[in-house]
Amino acid sequence: MAVIKTSSEDVKLLARLMRAEAEGEGELGMLMVGNVGVNRVRGDCLDFKQIRTIRDMVFQRPGGFEATIKGYFYQKARDKEVRLARRAINGERQHPASNALWFFRPDGGCPGQWYNQPNTGRFKAHCFFAPSSQNCPAVYGTY
């Protein structure tokens, strides 16, 4: 069952984002990008207040995703990414992105914090960062 309200177009939009941001990280890496996206819609906290839909989250300015700004968000969602997007929307979470609201790809190691948010771990090239449960309780809620 979906943990956020979506349409079939929302699922495709999330799938495109997952592909654009983490295709080189494999299915698990793309699923983690989906986790961050779903968390941003669910969170209603910090930089993501008033984010209510997948579309709001994908195209948020400032604070959105590099893929939508730098031009590699043009790819069509393939069946594989659509299935992964549905898994994220249905609440499947993968550590270190389980409660994360941010990720980025550093040149070196992951910093302990990013914009005052603690690092939750690394998967391949991406570092993930999550707020405290006090700052964003909805991100830590059970699905």
Task: List beta partners, residue 104.
Answer: 127
pLDDT at 72: 75
Q: Can you list the positions of beta strands (E) in 29-130?
A: 102-104, 113-114, 117-123, 126-129
| Class for the domain spanning 8-140 | mainly alpha
The pair of three-digit structure tokens given for residue 100, joined into one six-digit string? 């994360």
State the average pLDDT over residues 48-59: 95
pLDDT digits 0-9 by tens, 98-120: 999 999 999 999 999 998 999 99
Q: What angle do CA 73, 77, 80 make, to 5 degrees?
A: 130
pTM: 0.95
CA 112 to chain centre: 19
Strand partners, 103: 128
DSSP summary character for residue 113:
E
pLDDT at 135 exceeding the cut of 80:
yes
Going from N- to C-terminal start, the domains of the chain cover 8-140
Task: Give the model's confidence band at 67: pLDDT under 50 very low, under 70 low, under 90 confident, else very high.
Answer: confident
Q: What are phi and psi of 104, to 5 degrees?
A: -155, 170
- Compute the mean pLDDT over every residue in the chain, rounded to the nearest whole number: 94
How far apart are alpha carbons 143 and 122 in whole angstroms?
23
E-assigned strands of 36-143? 102-104, 113-114, 117-123, 126-129
37 with 84: CB under 8 angstroms?
Answer: no
Which tens digits make up the pLDDT trace of 68-92?
Answer: 888 778 888 999 999 999 999 999 9
